[in-house]
Chains A and B, each alone.
Chain A
Amino acid sequence: MILDYFVILMTSLAFYTILVLALNLAVGFTGLINLGHMVFFGIGAYTSAILTTHGIPWYFAFILAGLLASVLGTLIAAITVRLKGEYFAMVTLGLVFIATAISRNWISLTRGALGIPGVPDIIRDNFYYMIFSWAVAGLCILFLYKLTNSETGKVLQAIRDDETAAAILGKNTYFYKVLSIAISTFFAGIAGSLFAHHINFVDPSVFDLEFFIFVISMLIAGGLASLKGSIVGVFGLSIVSEAMRYIVVSPSLIGAVRDIVYVVILIIILIYKPKGIFGKVDV
């Protein structure tokens, strides 16, 4: 029983890890405040759910979930990435509302608010699915570690610190910013697919801002531009989230109480550690 609980929790930590690391690539390493990150997570979840419930093998669906999220991410980035800081953030926030509206209203594809039940397991045994999820998360960590320490990764960080300076050193900053979003949204889509096959169900709530607040809290608590920080943020805040199951609050208030607790924790961390626990950049 306790082991089951642990296995399920650890599985969800795997896709949270991928999701937060992917967000860190865009926000922490490149300075692109993508508030629509969950849109690409949702696209991954829906892609996997729709394809596998129509009989497509999971491995196709799994890869396509990442690719479709990345293709849409690249297209949107190609149009919006020239916007400065907060304007880029506003546009990407707008994507959340568009995605929610589409998932609620394109009923022939998404079944609207009913959601898509019966998303098949990739691996029936929960323990092995946890291993599989962490293998994927491990590959993601390895890839992002290599990337952020490569010359390309350094260019992304240079753009974050001063885009003009990167440009006058001969770097095509537009290309690099689109590339960052393309990779970030690919992993968000992969995380979405893992999520869909984990809970066997997808509905428009994947796009909820409440979910995003949890994800970005993990990122900021762990610290921007630190892979280690993201992993610590995921584990730390998830433990807090699980502990809150024992706080007796009426079910209608639990969501709000959680958000308040996350924000208070963030404020406390940022007072003592202004860059987050392992952060390399000011929040």
Chain B
Amino acid sequence: MMLSVKNISKNFGGIKAVDGCSFEVKENTITSLIGPNGAGKTTLFNVISGLTAPDSGTIKLLNKKINNLPPYKIAQAGISRTFQLTKVFKNMSIKDNLLIANNTGEDKMKKLLESVYLQKPLNTTASELSYGQQRLLELARALLKPHSLLMLDEPTAGVNPRIRQELKSILKRLRKDGKTILLIEHDMDFVMDISDFVVVLNEGKVLKIGKPKDIAKDKRVLEAYLGK
């Protein structure tokens, strides 16, 4: 098992952002985390990557407990992630952004950029890129960092339809190459198209886990999204 999340809870003041969540991510799959706004998806991502300490529960990556480690150790243990609002190093060049992830040669960096459809010279400053391009750079950075699990927080948010299509083909290719991906996504067509498994969160709890076609038919899931 790549990732196992057991009984994770996190309160902010009186609000239960995550309330006893358990799920697993199998190796070589794309698992999507979906749910209405405020369901606790990003909080769960932050807990898994160590940015937020959980109140209770355990998280294991490849059978090693990681939930009491600082973020940089969790990253070293093998988790790579992106953010809902991109976090590129804006004053630094594309090359330096990638260098922080992994000091590979320029050739490898150029190939990687090509593979994520970011055709820009390596010395371009990140702040000169459009928002969509910054997302691609962040994705490239996460891919370059050695990892066993890739976590993407709403990769299609705020990007144009062309980049959205490109992202879909990138993720499909990564899946084919044997990567394991955990994804937060609001675009249902996108999720249904690329996911092997879907975890539905609602009000901090796991509502349903299943294959995309089962999720699409589930009454409770529809209610959570559309109301009764």
On A, residues with C-beta under 8 Å from B are 151, 154-155, 157-158, 160-162, 164-173, 225, 280-281
Say which residue of B72, B75, B96 sits within 8 Å of A157 (CB atoms).
B96
Question: In the complex, A158 Cα to B87 Cα: how many Å?
Answer: 10
Which chain B residues border A155 with CB–CB below 8 Å? Answer: 100
Judge whether B81 is part of the interface by a CB distance below 8 angstroms: yes
Q: A168-B49, A168-B75, A170-B75 are in contact. Are A280 and B101 (CB under 8 A)?
A: no
- Whole-angstrom distance between the Cβ of A167 and the nearest chain B Cβ: 4
**Proximity bits, B133-153, A CB within 8 Å = 1, else 0:** 000000001000100000000
Say which residue of B74, B76, B100 sits within 8 Å of A166 (CB atoms).
B100
On whether the beta carbons of B75 and A161 are closer than 8 Å, the reply is: no
Size range of the interface on B?
20 to 34
In the complex, the chain B residue whose C-beta lies closest to that of A280 is B91
On B, residues with C-beta under 8 Å from A are 49, 51, 70-72, 74-76, 79-81, 83, 87-92, 96-97, 99-101, 103, 141, 145
On whether the beta carbons of A167 and B70 are closer than 8 Å, the reply is: yes
Question: In the complex, A196 Cα to B226 Cα: how many Å?
Answer: 74
Question: In the complex, A172 Cα to B100 Cα: how many Å?
Answer: 12
Question: In the complex, A173 Cα to B76 Cα: how many Å?
Answer: 13
In the complex, the chain B residue whose C-beta lies closest to that of A172 is B72
Say which residue of A154, A160, A169, A281 sits within 8 Å of B141 (CB atoms).
A169
The 10 closest A-B pairs by CB, nearest first: A170-B75, A165-B87, A161-B89, A167-B71, A170-B76, A158-B100, A162-B87, A167-B72, A158-B89, A172-B72
In the complex, the chain A residue whose C-beta lies closest to that of B145 is A169
Beyond A157-B89, A162-B89, A170-B76, 10 extra complex contacts between A and B, CB < 8 Å: A151-B103, A154-B92, A154-B100, A161-B90, A164-B87, A165-B87, A168-B72, A169-B100, A169-B141, A225-B91
- Whole-angstrom distance between the Cβ of B130 and the nearest chain A Cβ: 18
On whether the beta carbons of B71 and A168 are closer than 8 Å, the reply is: yes
Question: In the complex, A280 Cα to B123 Cα: how many Å?
Answer: 14
Which chain B residues border A171 with CB–CB below 8 Å? Answer: 72, 100
Question: In the complex, A103 Cα to B49 Cα: how many Å?
Answer: 47
Question: In the complex, A154 Cα to B79 Cα: how many Å?
Answer: 22
Which chain A residues border B79 with CB–CB below 8 Å? Answer: 168
Q: A158-B89, A161-B90 are in contact. Are A169 and B75 (CB under 8 A)?
A: yes
Question: In the complex, A166 Cα to B138 Cα: how many Å?
Answer: 12
Question: In the complex, A169 Cα to B147 Cα: how many Å?
Answer: 10
Q: Most chain-B Cβ atoms within 10 A of its Cβ — which of A155, A168, A172?
A: A168
